[in-house]
Structure formats: C-alpha cells, structure tokens
Amino acid sequence: MSGALLRAEGLAKRFPLPRRGLAARGAVRAVEDVSFAIAEGEVLGLVGESGSGKSTIGRLVLRLIEPSAGRVVFEGCDITAATARELRALRRRMQMVFQDPYASLNPRRSVGEAIAEVLRLHGLAGRDRGRARVAELLAHVGLSPEDSGRLPRAFSGGQRQRIAIARALAVQPRLLVADEPVSALDVSVQAGILALLRGLRQELGLAMLFISHDLSVVEAMADRVMVLYLGRVMESGPVRAIFTAPAHPYTAALLSAAPGGAHKRGIPPLGGEIPSAADPPSGCVFRTRCPFALPDCAGDVPRLRAVAPGHDKACIRDDLVL
Amino acid sequence: MSARAAPLLAIEDLRVTFRTPAGDIAAVDGLSLSLAAGETLAVVGESGSGKSVTALSVLRLFGRGEQVETTGSVRFAPRDAPPTDLLRLAEPAMRRLRGAEIAIIFQDPSASLNPVFTVGEQIAEALRRHRRLGRAAASREAAAALRRVGLADPEARARAFPHQLSGGMRQRAMIAMAIACGPRLLIADEPTTALDVTIQAQIVALLKEIQAARGMGLMFITHDLALVGEVADRVAVMYAGQVVEEGVAAAVLAEPRHPYTRALLACRPARRYAEDGEDSILLRPIPGMPPRRGEAASAAGCRFAARCGFVVAECRAVPPSLRRVAPDRQARCIRAEELA
C-alpha cells in the first residue's frame, strides 16, 4: 500500500441540507468511510447506481470539493492539507475527463487554443513550441493537427471526448479521473474512446480512477473494481473476482440486472429504490433492498472483510451462494 | 411468431421529411414495419437513425412550428372500428385515438407529466376525457392505475406533484397514465435509458407484465441492442432513416445478417479472462460515426458503406433494397447471404 500512487483514507462527504424549522440541520451522506489505493499505472473502476457517491469520490480525489472527513494522499503528498499553490502543482499530475465534453470546452475557442491554454497555464510551452505540442497531442488521441483551428461544434461527441482527453494529457498527468467518459456517446463510438484510454494507459503508464454505471465498460477497463451503494463500499476486488465470483448480494444483483450481461447470477431482481442519502438505513445501507437481509443487518455497519486476498466485502452473511 | 395475425399497426413506405432553411432533411426514408397485438417490436438504432421520428409520426406528434412532410401510410386497427390510416385521419379523430388507443411514454417523464398538476389529477383528466368518467370515479381509477404499476401507497402518490417523485417512480407514473385508458398500442421511446439498471429491470418487467395481461402491442424504441433480447419478439434495426435488418429478435441477435447489426453487437466491450492474467479485451468500434439526421440520404449507394467492413465496389454504386434473405428475415445488404 505504501507504494501507491494515490491513497484515499476514510473519505466522507456530507452535503448539508437547508434548515427546516427548528429541527436539527440534516445532511446528505454522499460518501461515508471510503478507503482505497491506486498503484502506478493501475485502473480502479468505480461502479454503482445514481446516488452511490461515485462521482463525488472522483471530485474528492482531485479536491474539486472538500471532504467532510478523511484524506487523500497523492505521490506521498496530503492533498486534503495542500495549499492553493501546492494544489496547482498537484493538478498537473492528476487530470479529469467528464461525461459531457461539450460542457468543458469553450464553444468560441478553437480546440488548438483550448489545449494551448492549458500548456500556457502550467508554464509548459511558449507560443511556438505550443503549436507543435498541440499537433502532437491531437495526433496522440487520433485527431489530425489540421483540426486545431476548428471550433468544438464542428466535432462529433466522440471527437470532442478525444479533445478533452488531449487537453488532460497536455500536462502529462500520472492519474486520470474519468467520470462516465463514454456514457453520452453512441455505442458504436464508445469502444473507440475506451480503446484510446487503454492505449494511453499501456503507453504512458497512466493510472486511472474510472467511474461508470455501465458494468461492461468497467469490466473492459479496470484492473480492480469497487462497488458502491449509497455512499459506501459494498465490495472491492480484482475485476475477475467481482465479475465472476461476486461476494456481495448487491454486486450479484447489479450483474443480474444488466441487460444481455454475460455474468447473470441466480439472484431475484431487486425491488424498491435506492433510499434517500439524507436518511440512510441503519446498519447495512443495502439491507432494505437485499433479498438476504437478516434482523442483524440493521445493527452495526458491516465492516469490509477479506473473502480472498485483495477481495473484500461488507456483508455479514458468509452462507450465501450468489 | 412466424404465422402472424392481422397487424395492429402496419407502417408502409413511411417518409418523414423536415423542411428547414438549409434544405430538406429525410429523417425517415421508406420505412415499413408491422406489429401484431400482444407482440413487442423493438426498433433499434443510434442517434439520428430515425427511430424516434418514426414513433412521433405514428402519433402525429410533431410540433406546430415544425415543417414536416409525411408520406406513406400508417394503418392502425382501433378496438371497434376498421383499420384506418393515421396519416389521413382528421385531427379531432386522431385526438380521440391518442391516449385512448395509442399511448406513448418517453425517456424523460417530464416531457409528458405537467409539473403544475398532481400525478393523480393528470391521470384522472385523461380518464374523464377518453372514458367519460365522473370526477370521483376518475380519481379512484387513477389511484388504481398507480397501484397497477407497483407504486406503494398509490393514494398518496396520486396527490404528489411530479417533482416529488424519484426518476423510477415518475416513469411508473407515466406508464400508469399511458395505460390508464387501456390502449391497444403502447410506444415506449427509450423508456429506461435514464434509469439505473436495477430500476430498468423493474420497468421492463412491468411493461412486459402489463402487455401480457392486456394483449397490448408494444413498440419499444431503444439504442441498446442488449435490451432487445430481454424485451422483444421482433426487432427492426435502423440506420440513417431506413430499416437495415428485420426479424425475430433472438434470431437477429444470434445470427445477424446485416454488417451494421453485426458491428453493433460486436462493439459492446467484452473481456475474456485468461489464467495467466493476460485477459483479452475486445473493443471493436465501428469506424467513422453515425450520419446525422438526413445526412446519408444523398449517398449514392448503401448508407452504411463508409463504415462497413464488408464493403465492395457495388455497395457504393447502387442503394441496396430491403429483401428477404432467410425465412422470416429481411436485410438491406447485397452480401447478406455471405454473413450467414
């Protein structure tokens, strides 16, 4: 663990709710007690449904939002305690790619300018060298250097995502946080972006925190996977273990619900909905939808326990065949 | 499913053209489809394929400001009347069919739910209009409709405004509204795309259950080929405004005869685990990008030729026609037999 590129320890994020009358001010518990590590060149996949906290974790890792508890250590440096100046240097080492590339590109600026701006901002290239570097970056993501003069609207969704990736790569990061990077794209285009990201990882040894609700996408991308539900880790382990030998009922339910999924399990479909994160169930947060819940599940929050080396689950039941 | 009953819906040579200042855009170009009562037809395609425009033209739901020309015929068999061509029906008669005999649900429930009325009021309103129920009877029926779609505490849900419900509950409320008048045909346009997978599974199960109970025809529009295998009896795959392959869903998924269907199935990421840890990752994008709406209509030959792995010179010269390539299977490809 000490050799990890990134370590998150006991991360929590609570968003305060507006005060209602005289009642105590409540909070949405978006993330509770989440710990993980990412090694150099490793891809950790985060899966979960809406409200699971996966995007919040992505933002906490880059300190785009402040944690309520816990800390993030990147290359030995505590990000959560970093000053604004230190943070700026750190952001050169970790970058983010979002679901909607259009929202992160200025519609009135050519893509070449958008990339050159990042280079200038971080003092990485002057005007002349900048142009050559922009061409190199565009080529790297499968676009042509001639594209640098065009505005974002001239590109398709997939091409815009390539531009966003080129811009993230401009600072030569060690870690990329990719938050649903292909969810807005047509399926015929998704695989190309995923192949690009896998290639970059191979070639540059880029580590990734890869966030997606799409299980087959995470299975293709990740070395290890963390399954989240209502802000807590349900299970984490090597990609193969999670997909072929899930140990937590929620993981098994997710695999079964995926249409056309290759890893369906014999678990009954989940009823009900994800409870409100402002008022999560006591004990195991999944128990209200779990087909195997026992009275004991309402007691303590189940600890993450090892079921195999590197494979943990937060479930008190060891008698389940999932 | 091969011996098919008289269709509930028969679309013949449908062409939908948007007149824009920049010129005409053929969003749907010569589409023919049919759907029997009790059957589920999935219409699959990427963005711009014309699948949603097809749904809107069946219900004639284009906005007043839109300059749309629709030709061909859309024959629908109402409950107690002979089949009629919806495209030639007078607007008041069309209005009587909408909601009562043909209903539609969308990806985004807020497109059909009015934010300033409670969910119950909206369902009751439809029941009073189409089934001429009194106020009290309509609101009782509205609560019953909400119960049928599996909403707990339906009386309380009926009093809720749309924004007070979760995404999954809103989708259930929209389904309740759509089926309240007992339509013979339900068109579902990406009804689960915005939902989480566990909720998607619930909504798909609900739609199938309602359909089985009522013998309703279901046209299920989706971009997700994986979902087709779970919901549909038949499937029509659309590309650039045309059907490129049509047949029994399970057979099309197992043995696609059109290169586009085949490529669409292959582009889902997959991982094959290896004992030595060197897993193989299958990522096979379709080269290029789907044409924007109407963009491919001017192409000389096959609209998929530019992205097709099986393309030959003839493909670029002559537009292929949709033809029978196997029993109960049509494909729009001159090389369909070779793909068997």
The structure tokens 């299970």 sit at A235
Q: Are the Cβ atoms of A191 and B196 closer than 8 angstroms?
A: no
Confidence of residue B87 (pLDDT cuts 50, 70, 90): very high
Specify the pLDDT at position B297. Answer: 63
**Residue A228 above 90 pLDDT?**
yes
Tens of pLDDT, residue by residue over B150-194, are: 888 899 999 999 998 888 888 889 999 999 989 999 999 999 988
Residue A3 has pLDDT above 90, yes or no: no
**A46-85: per-residue pLDDT in tens?**
999 988 999 999 999 999 999 999 999 999 999 999 999 9
The answer to whether the Cβ–Cβ distance between B267 and A191 falls below 8 Å is: yes
Task: Quick: pLDDT tens for A254-292.
Answer: 999 998 888 999 898 898 888 888 899 999 999 999 999
Task: Describe the crossing of helices B197-214 and B167-179 by its angle, rounded to 10 degrees.
Answer: 10
> Does the structure show a pLDDT above 70 at B130?
yes
Chain B touched by A258 (CB under 8 Å): yes
d(CA B94, CA B53): 18
Token duo for residue A313: 């689950």
Reduce the DSSP state of residue A265 to 3 states and report it: coil
* Mean per-residue pLDDT, B264-289: 92
pLDDT class of B89 with cuts at 50, 70, 90: very high
Q: Is B284 on the interface with A (CB under 8 A)?
A: yes
Q: Which of B172, B261, B289 to mutate to test the interface with A (most CBs of A within 10 A)?
A: B289
B300 band by pLDDT with thresholds 50, 70 and 90: confident
Q: Where are the alpha helices (DSSP H) in chain A?
A: 54-61, 84-91, 111-121, 127-140, 157-169, 187-204, 215-221, 239-244, 249-257
Residues of chain A positioned with their CB less than 8 A from the CB of B286: 188-189
B2 falls in which pLDDT band (50, 70, 90)?
Answer: very low
In this complex, do A191 and B285 lie within 8 Å of one another by their Cβ atoms? yes
Q: What is the pLDDT of residues A73-128, one digit of tens each?
A: 999 999 999 999 999 888 889 999 988 877 778 889 999 999 998 898 888 877 77
pLDDT for B3 beyond 50 = no
Residue B5 pLDDT: 60
Q: How close, in Å, is residue A113 to chain B by CA atoms?
A: 25
Q: Is the pLDDT of residue A201 over 90?
A: yes
Taking the C-alpha atoms of residue A182 and residue A190, their distance in angstroms, rounded to an integer, is 6
DSSP A147: G
Confidence class of residue A138 from pLDDT cuts 50, 70 and 90? Answer: very high
Q: Which residue has the higher pLDDT, A241 or B293?
A: A241
Q: What per-residue confidence (pLDDT) applies to B288?
A: 85
Average per-residue pLDDT for chain A: 92
- Chain A: give the shortest CA distance to residue B205, in Å: 10
Contact B226 A198 (CB under 8 A): no
A72 vs B112, higher pLDDT: A72
Alpha carbon of B226: minimum distance to chain A alpha carbons (Å): 5
Instruction: Kindly state whether B199 is in contact with chain A, defined as any CB-CB distance less than 8 angstroms.
Output: yes
A213 touches chain B (CB under 8 A): yes
Q: Do B283 and A198 touch (CB under 8 A)?
A: yes
Facing residue for B226 by CB, picked from A195, A259, A273: A259
Look at B224 and A259 and tell me if their CB atoms are within 8 Å: yes
Tokens for B306, please give them. 């530019």
- Give yes or no for a contact between B249 and A160, defined as CB atoms under 8 angstroms apart: no
B273·A219 Cβ contact <8 A: no
Say whether residue A245 is in contact with chain B using an 8 A CB cutoff. no
Q: What is the mean pLDDT of residues B85-94?
A: 94
Interface of B with A in 234-273 (CB under 8 A): 263-264, 267-271, 273
Chain A residue with minimum CA distance to B166: A273
SS (H, E, C) B124-176: HHHHHHHHCCCHHHHHHHHHHHHHHCCCCCHHHHHCCCHHHCCHHHHHHHHHH
The verdict on a CB contact (< 8 Å) between A188 and B290 is yes
